[in-house]
Structure 1
Amino acid sequence: MIGRDEELRTLRDLLADAAAGHGSAVLVHGSAGVGKSALLRTLATDATDSGFRILRTSGVETEQWLPFAALQLLLQPAARGIKNLPTPHRLALNAAFGATETETEPQVFRVGLAVLELLADAAARQPLLILADDVQWIDSSSRDVLRFVARRTRDHAILVVGAARVPSAASYSPGMNPDMHLQPLDHTAAAALLDACAPDLPPPVRGLILDRAAGNPLALVELPKAVHGAPAHLDDLPLTQRLEAAFAARTDSVSGQCRTFLLALATEPTAPLGKLLDVAGRLCDATVSAAALQEAVDADLVVLVGRSVEFRHPLMRSAIYTRATVTDRLATHRALAAVLEDSPDRQLVHLAASTLGPDEELAARLERFADGAQAQGRPAAAVPALRQAAELVHDARRRTGILVRAAELASEVNDRVNTQLLLGRADMGELGPPERARLMLVSDRSAFEPDEPHRRILEMVTTAAGAFDAGSAGVAEDLLWRAAARCFFQDGDAEVRARATAELDRWHPGPDAPHVLTVRAYTEPYRYGTDVLARLDGVEPDRQDGRTMHFLGSGAMVVGECARATRHLTVAAAAWRAQGRLGLLARSLAGSWPRVYLGQLDRAREEAGEGVELAEETGESIVWLGVKATSGLVAVLRGETEEAERAVRDLRTHHLFPGMPFAAVMATQVDGLLALFDGRPAEAYEMFARAFDPGDPHHHSVSCWLLAPDLADAAVAAGTVDRARELLSDLPELAERLPSEMMVVARAYTDAVLAPDETAEKAYAGALDALPAAWTPARARLHLHHGRWLRRQRRNVDARTPLRLAREEFDRIGTQPWAEMAREQLRAAGEAGGRRHTNTSERLSAQEMQIAVLASQGLSNREIGQRLFISHRTVGAHLYRIYPRLGITSRGKLAAALAALREDQPAV
């Protein structure tokens, strides 16, 4: 390993950390031949010497449409441990690997959790090094599981190292440690490697190889073998092609039978050795024995690994396949299809590859295979079958229909790369209205484009109309709901909002249907607000139906009906959690936002923290914006200034942020509170005021009213009360049209805080009566302002009661900046502020809080792990860190310790 000292040092440090129980993951990526595989082999040797157990897998192009193929290869040495897993994990793995019959394939994240438990148990006995080479060719199901495990190795003796070619490496990164980009060797290291491998090269040839190799280690090793002293072989081909040519040329010295065997191996690298020899025999029309294999080994073309055979480098495989004639390739695929009758999936791969031009019969067979895979809940297997089928049909419209279906399934399994490729091949001119709507749904899920939001919303509404008229009501409803969601996220203008609701009205839907209420809440809340809220009161949804509960919860959330939103979204989240549907779970955890206004800061912090991780893991970018903003808001209210600033910084640098007013108004709230708590009220006022200016990018026509109490606070402190009254002049009318909790609070709070002295006493009393019971922070803030006003009236004794109430509530919910303000006012009113009790959340992280609460409720470590999608051993590690922070020594004392530190969260 010449020239890789720094990279090896980094990997060895990670290995040492993993041996000590602090696992991690890293992706090594770089161009072909740059030394990724060699680096992994060297690390494996080091790990073996350090007492690690090694588990390996690698990607193969022909296995990309076989779900969990790479994962099954990885876990073969540890498969005996599956029988010791709890039943849900055992069933998930057996179903994924086809060991048991099942109607549906388990969710990838259920399999991921089962794999994590299996590996965590194994790592408790012996540290593990997991190596995954050629990640870019690993099937999407296995890749998702590996990414899931890689993000959860921190508390285990597990190091995950993957290797992938650029430029696609970003799609496969485990997202933990910074990726390791393997650069070509510098000139000194390149010269040293060349001299070590070919010490007797003539100077002109040596110089030419150094130049042509450009620091690529594989080229430095292989090109000297190819030139044989003849520089003419070093033409100006790209380096990878030059290397492939060099590899392929080395097969010239072996027999025809050996070359045929090598082509069979290159075409199906995972086939059993006996079948490969059988294929070679069919192609040569003679018996091909193990002598052909031995010849390839002696020529240093392949290596034996147990009972299987592998090429010494992946480029050698592609070189042999590429150099073969088209006729030989097609014949090899046909021969492989003939010997793989016992593996229908693989047989279809080779039948499709052996066909040139349209083949309607084979296309129909591939579609039938996809039908079966989809019926069995194996959409990942159906996608490549449909992709192949599309290439074999004559009719352009049918081809596009197949591609749309494949794109839908790829989106369903969160395979964004394949989804985009399939969408790009679909011919929009060949689509009917339902297919056009389906395609638009897929593109909206796979790559949300924030540009030209009004045009996009109108296009979605128009397309939904066409689908509805063509009889595809379900597709139309789904697309219209997505258009309505954009009206909220991107704050659509009056025209697009009206068009969306007009289209919904044209369908004459049931007025109480959850999707109808949600569309109207998203699009025209000031028009339909009173009716929507009344109908929400009368709806009795099925609590087992996560989709309906999410519709109702999100509809309530966007109009500021926070108590109702948290109730429904909590139920939806429980349904998605039970099903292992982490993308949908992340969406429902957006319900952490309204919890802030209900004083449930600890719960909001826990859910937002989990939501951020799940949104990153599942690619839910819009959800990420919401939960990241919630994290920032919770941090600023807890007095965690640096954390709040970091959250807003991350938020503002996200590529979707500029086109998302809903996130911009949340970022403005955090920035404004940071300024207000820092004693910069004038600056805070200007920030809050931006949210109410329709011409400002931080404005949101509905969510801005959540900032009305903050604007009033800043106005009083900055002396801009008159300006604030003018800015809020529309509030009374809008609150009448949309009487949600948010609007009631905004109106009552600002009426009191901004009232002139002669009416203030009455305004405070009326506001406190009007506030929804669950909005405890707003009530405490009103008590604080009332106490301040009483002090300004020189009524210090009267001021103590509301100030005391404010301090106690702020302490209870953990809003430290306001609690300190209440103490300061109490001291000024002649009363000691009282000792501030440490809030539980100040001692525990968000995830630790979740674990402590669940453990205090009697859940076992495994049950907690299944709930939070972490291993039971991670739960145990967290608990041992939690106990001393709470001053206890055992699980049985958790409930008492938590109760002593904080009261229960307010019910909603």
Structure 2
Amino acid sequence: MIGRDEELRLLRELLTDTAAGNGGALVVHGTAGVGKSALLRAVGTEAAEAGFRVLRTSGVETEQWLPFAALQLLLQPTIRTIKNLPAPHQQALGDALGATDAEPQIYRVGLAVLELLADEADRQPLLLLVDDLQWIDSSSSDVLKFVARRTHDLPILVVTGSRIHSPDAYSPGVLPDLRLEPLGPAAAAELLDSGAPGLPDPVRERVLERAAGNPLALVELPKAAQNLPAHFDDLPLTQRLEQAFAARTDSASRECRTFLLAMATEPTSPLSQLLTVSSRLAGSPVTVHALQEAIDAGLVGMVDRRIEFQHPLMRSAIYMRAPVADRLATHAALAAVMDDVPGRQLVHLAAASLGPDEELAARLERFADDSQARGKIAAAVPALGQAADLVRDPHRRTALLIRAAELASEINDHVNAQMLLDRADLSVLGPVERARLMLVSDSAAFEPDEPQRRIQDMVTAAADAFDAGAGGIAETLLWRAAARCFFQDGDTQVRSMAADELDRWNPDPDASHLLTVRAYTEPYRYGADVLARLGGLAPDPQDGRTLHFLGSGSMVIGDVGRAARYLAQATAVWRSQGRLGLLARSLASSWPRVYLGQLDRAREESAEGVTLAEETGERIVWLGVKATAALVATLRGEREDGIRAVRELRANSLFPGMPFASVMAQQVDGLLALFDGRATEAYELLARAFDPADPHYHSVSRWLLAPDLADAAVAAGTVEQARHLLADLPELAGRLPSEMMVVAHAYTQAVLAPDDSAEQTCTWALTALPTTWELSRARLHLHHGRWLRRQRRNVDARAPLRTARDGFVRVGARPWAEMAREQLRAAGESSGRQNANSGELLSAQEMQIAVLASQGLSNREIGQRLFISHRTVGSHLYRIYPRLGITSRGKLATALAALHEEQSVPGSQA
């Protein structure tokens, strides 16, 4: 290749790393014709010569609505080895590839594909080449993303090609990407002269200027230079290329042109089918000679025994150049030979239609109904979109588009959902359709500057839908509005409006939906009642939806212990079902675990939550688990990790409008300052979270920062100011007696108490604190010990300081443990040195793997639980063993117990 030395160097390095077992992924993106396909072909050739097995697939516009079409093409060479997989993986692939009518669950399919490829790569390193990513069907795209993010411990390299304006850019910043730029002047001239030597200087200069470094243009424009229209130079580059391609077909025979149009209309159709259709259209036999003519003209080629256009623009050029009547006839002829593939048949019947066709629209809708019933949602979406174009009634058309958008959102295809909504006529919406529309657009409509208006609109739409008889839709929309009251800290008016609307419906007072809405909206009004009713419930441990409702409702009002239990149960349900988006949401349980002192588990769950939220597009969830990860790192003494995580959090585009996350970020910054000895700065940072005019203020979550504020106030000498900021805490704690409020009240009362009542108040506070809040109890013992030392009672101070130190060591709160040690030394007692953090030995995922392996789970069972390959599990274990000083799996339990015991030993005492 000319002018791509740096790009090829990068890809060769990736191949070398992959051959050594360190795979990866790369998204190559750039404009049409810039050389993505050529680069992928080049790396494929080099990989094959280096001993790789190369698997290929590409996106095709006409197959975007055929679930797993691109995946089926990719896996075709490995299809015989599927039988070697465990039965659950065989079942998942059978569901996806059409062997059964069962519902294919995307992430179960993804894990099955990962295991299939991992087994293949164990014999021979793999290179997966995925071209025209922008046209890959959504199901295949989701599976390929799942695999691409899990190849770093496997000899598998995934390289994809996508246009810059692709609807699915494969999460830029999550997967490595390479932008392919046009060639520089010297490389462009070299490429032109190598392909078209001897061009007259005027023509050569014209081509160089018009090609603008685009390699495809440099190759193709000279071939068509004599047949281009006068206005050619005024067209955009892509259109110039399309016209250049189309001009090359003018000299082809009628049979060849008919064959090329059939192939452009259905690019993946078998050759025999294309020849049959072409013969019908031409009115005479079309044979392989037509194919040979197209190959000789450089229009198509053979790749792995498949016929392909030399470039996607060539296909679109041939299709668009054909007369409309010929295109319609080709679609009709293709539909006539596809009785055995109803999905494809309907695609072509719809494309062959001119104007409304109510009968065909009804067929498309029935196909969508059947697809949805069998779990093939990705097929239902475009069927409904095409049905909408064929109906006369604008109300029905909009209803079809909204239903299609709902289903697109259900499979996380948010770009397509928005495109469908853009086609809808909002002026004909009734109350139910308006509520459905608001539900579809909800996840992408977090306006940082108008949250109150949006919440109010959602409540109004929910009320109208309820009055129209759509109770289920109304209930879901009102819950979404209530959730915004927490995420965006809705003002008093919208909180009351949402709660009152629910009351108007006279719901079951113990319903999980009602309790959650009340917790989200009016915690100080309904808090005591919600807590009492939560205590009397016994939800089904397999009902993930109810468990998540109750867990999230408990969490936002600070009922921390119950939140952790319910969300842990919901997590187990979603994990067993392979529903990664819902699993990411329930991993919000990592946040309450922080306050229970379960820092190791909070670290593991927040790390997994960040990964899954990125993967599934759960943007709000990402803010929460990222903030938790920052807080956990800070509390564990991993200062740089905490700083980096909070920086990434603040850089997120949604952050400015999300007080639930900004208050957590402020807590991290305040604690970092406090641990660094910058007491005044720490107090000022934390105090901002209690100022209603500050963007870091949250009317409920601020109370989780109250103990930190009190500690900073004592250290900074701002106790009176802190008492003023916390003046309304006792009254609010009475109205909302959750664990969070009890701790905030008791802790701050003790820490900020005057000297004449300090010891008595501290004793009361230790009794009031929940026994499960081990971290807060240790902090209060530390405060008590410090106060005793200030009173020159060093001997008395040693016992609470020792208790504090031991508590901090148990939970892994290293900065506070060191503070306790320093105070003990000052009180005359040696406390030894801190032992290594488990995080310094094992990453969050490695710790998960080690624990599960120590419990007797096999590598495959661990892989299924964590959604990684069993071979990745094995790679992790071989790295874990030497770090723990062991040589085999059987010694893991003992090593982990010893590590935990070592971290729990406070050190020698004098």
TM-score (norm 2): 0.98
Q: 1:101 aligns to what?
A: 101
Structure-2 separation of matches of 1:567 and 1:841 = 24
Q: 1:167 aligns to what?
A: 165
Per the TM alignment, residue 427 of structure 1 is displaced from its structure 2 partner at its CA by 1.6
Structure-2 separation of matches of 1:263 and 1:396 = 34
Q: 1:382 aligns to what?
A: 380
Indicate whether 1:226 and 2:209 are aligned.
no
Amino acid of the residue matched to residue 339 of structure 1?
A: V
Indicate whether 1:667 and 2:665 are aligned.
yes
Instruction: From 301, 309, 312, give the equivalent of 1:311.
Output: 309
Matched-pair contact (CA < 8 Å) for 1:57–1:71 = yes
SS in structure 1 at match of 2:160: strand
Output one character per residue of 1:60-101: Cα deviation in whole Å (capped at 9) or x when no partner.
Answer: 111111000000000011112211111111100011011123
Per the TM alignment, residue 253 of structure 1 is displaced from its structure 2 partner at its CA by 1.6
Alpha-carbon RMSD across the aligned residues, in angstroms, is 1.4
Amino acid of the residue matched to residue 39 of structure 1?
A: L
Amino acid of the residue matched to residue 623 of structure 1?
A: V
Per the TM alignment, residue 846 of structure 1 is displaced from its structure 2 partner at its CA by 0.5
Q: 2:908 aligns to what?
A: none
Instruction: From 283, 287, 291, give the equivalent of 1:285.
Output: 283
Structure-2 separation of matches of 1:160 and 1:626 = 30
CA change 1:639–1:443 in 2 (3 A) is same
Matched-pair contact (CA < 8 Å) for 1:600–1:905 = no
CA change 1:398–1:546 in 2 (3 A) is same
Aligned ranges 1:520-669 → 2 under 5 Å: 520-669=518-667
CA change 1:669–1:98 in 2 (3 A) is same
Structure-2 separation of matches of 1:693 and 1:826 = 36
Structure-1 separation of matches of 2:496 and 2:228 = 75
Amino acid of the residue matched to residue 487 of structure 1?
A: C
CA change 1:726–1:173 in 2 (3 A) is closer
Q: 2:326 aligns to what?
A: 328
Percent same amino acid among aligned pairs?
A: 74
Per the TM alignment, residue 837 of structure 1 is displaced from its structure 2 partner at its CA by 3.0
SS in structure 2 at match of 1:266: helix
Per the TM alignment, residue 899 of structure 1 is displaced from its structure 2 partner at its CA by 1.2
Structure-1 separation of matches of 2:219 and 2:854 = 61
Structure-1 separation of matches of 2:344 and 2:257 = 23
Amino acid of the residue matched to residue 74 of structure 1?
A: L
Output one character per residue of 1:678-720: Cα deviation in whole Å (capped at 9) or x when no partner.
Answer: 0100000011101111111110000000000000000000000
SS in structure 1 at match of 2:233: coil
Q: 2:679 aligns to what?
A: 681
Q: 1:62 aligns to what?
A: 62
Output one character per residue of 1:349-389: Cα deviation in whole Å (capped at 9) or x when no partner.
Answer: 10000001100000000000000000101110000000000
Of the structure 1 ranges 93-102 and 479-488, higher mean CA displacement relative to structure 2 is found in 93-102
Indicate whether 1:813 and 2:811 are aligned.
yes
Q: 1:210 aligns to what?
A: 208
Q: 1:82 aligns to what?
A: 82
Structure-2 separation of matches of 1:173 and 1:745 = 41
Matched-pair contact (CA < 8 Å) for 1:839–1:901 = no
SS in structure 2 at match of 1:870: coil
Q: 1:871 aligns to what?
A: 869
Structure 1: state its 5+ residue gaps: none
Per the TM alignment, residue 601 of structure 1 is displaced from its structure 2 partner at its CA by 0.3
Q: 1:73 aligns to what?
A: 73
Amino acid of the residue matched to residue 135 of structure 1?
A: L
Structure-2 separation of matches of 1:239 and 1:448 = 37
CA change 1:139–1:231 in 2 (3 A) is closer
Output one character per residue of 1:547-578: Cα deviation in whole Å (capped at 9) or x when no partner.
Answer: 00000000000011111000000000111111
Matched-pair contact (CA < 8 Å) for 2:228–2:247 = no
Instruction: From 366, 369, 373, give the equivalent of 1:368.
Output: 366
Structure-2 separation of matches of 1:258 and 1:277 = 10
Name the count of aligned residue pairs: 904
Structure-2 separation of matches of 1:174 and 1:876 = 29
Matched-pair contact (CA < 8 Å) for 2:688–2:696 = yes
Structure-1 separation of matches of 2:227 and 2:478 = 69
Structure-1 separation of matches of 2:706 and 2:714 = 12
Q: 2:430 aligns to what?
A: 432
Structure-1 separation of matches of 2:371 and 2:176 = 37
CA change 1:230–1:753 in 2 (3 A) is closer
Matched-pair contact (CA < 8 Å) for 1:205–1:229 = no
Matched-pair contact (CA < 8 Å) for 1:839–1:902 = no
Structure-1 separation of matches of 2:173 and 2:668 = 27
CA change 1:429–1:228 in 2 (3 A) is closer
Q: 1:753 aligns to what?
A: 751
Structure-1 separation of matches of 2:609 and 2:174 = 17
Output one character per residue of 1:503-546: Cα deviation in whole Å (capped at 9) or x when no partner.
Answer: 00000001000010000000000010100000000011011000
Per the TM alignment, residue 423 of structure 1 is displaced from its structure 2 partner at its CA by 1.2
SS in structure 2 at match of 1:26: strand
Structure-1 separation of matches of 2:169 and 2:418 = 13
Per the TM alignment, residue 175 of structure 1 is displaced from its structure 2 partner at its CA by 5.1
Q: 2:195 aligns to what?
A: 197
Amino acid of the residue matched to residue 414 of structure 2?
A: R
Per the TM alignment, residue 177 of structure 1 is displaced from its structure 2 partner at its CA by 4.4
Structure-2 separation of matches of 1:72 and 1:895 = 42
Q: 1:33 aligns to what?
A: 33
CA change 1:388–1:800 in 2 (3 A) is same
Q: 2:45 aligns to what?
A: 45
Amino acid of the residue matched to residue 54 of structure 1?
A: V
Indicate whether 1:792 and 2:790 are aligned.
yes
Per the TM alignment, residue 210 of structure 1 is displaced from its structure 2 partner at its CA by 0.3
Amino acid of the residue matched to residue 882 of structure 1?
A: I
Structure-2 separation of matches of 1:715 and 1:807 = 22
Structure-2 separation of matches of 1:229 and 1:476 = 62
Per the TM alignment, residue 836 of structure 1 is displaced from its structure 2 partner at its CA by 2.5
Q: 2:261 aligns to what?
A: 263
Structure-2 separation of matches of 1:234 and 1:734 = 74
CA change 1:658–1:187 in 2 (3 A) is same
Output one character per residue of 1:264-309: Cα deviation in whole Å (capped at 9) or x when no partner.
Answer: 0000001111111111111111111111111112222111235431
Structure-1 separation of matches of 2:229 and 2:386 = 42
CA change 1:803–1:643 in 2 (3 A) is same
CA change 1:229–1:463 in 2 (3 A) is closer
Aligned ranges 1:769-780 → 2 under 5 Å: 769-780=767-778
Q: 1:862 aligns to what?
A: 860
Structure-1 separation of matches of 2:334 and 2:902 = 65
Of the structure 1 ranges 430-439 and 476-485, higher mean CA displacement relative to structure 2 is found in 430-439
SS in structure 2 at match of 1:171: coil
Per the TM alignment, residue 170 of structure 1 is displaced from its structure 2 partner at its CA by 5.5
Structure 2: state its 5+ residue gaps: 905-910
Q: 1:502 aligns to what?
A: 500
CA change 1:163–1:169 in 2 (3 A) is farther
Amino acid of the residue matched to residue 70 of structure 1?
A: A
Amino acid of the residue matched to residue 455 of structure 1?
A: R
Output one character per residue of 1:81-138: Cα deviation in whole Å (capped at 9) or x when no partner.
Answer: 2111111111000110111232xx2211110011000111111110000000001011
Matched-pair contact (CA < 8 Å) for 1:63–1:138 = yes
Output one character per residue of 1:885-906: Cα deviation in whole Å (capped at 9) or x when no partner.
Answer: 1111111111111111216999
Structure-2 separation of matches of 1:367 and 1:175 = 38
Amino acid of the residue matched to residue 599 of structure 2?
A: L
Output one character per residue of 1:398-422: Cα deviation in whole Å (capped at 9) or x when no partner.
Answer: 0000001000100011101110101
CA change 1:763–1:316 in 2 (3 A) is same
Output one character per residue of 1:215-244: Cα deviation in whole Å (capped at 9) or x when no partner.
Answer: 010111111111149895853211111111
Q: 1:517 aligns to what?
A: 515
TM-score (norm 1): 0.98
Per the TM alignment, residue 445 of structure 1 is displaced from its structure 2 partner at its CA by 2.9
Of the structure 1 ranges 444-453 and 149-158, higher mean CA displacement relative to structure 2 is found in 444-453
SS in structure 2 at match of 1:253: coil
SS in structure 1 at match of 2:302: strand
Q: 1:346 aligns to what?
A: 344
SS in structure 1 at match of 2:249: helix
Structure-1 separation of matches of 2:228 and 2:26 = 41
SS in structure 2 at match of 1:333: helix
CA change 1:174–1:671 in 2 (3 A) is closer
Matched-pair contact (CA < 8 Å) for 1:150–1:176 = no
Structure-1 separation of matches of 2:229 and 2:215 = 19
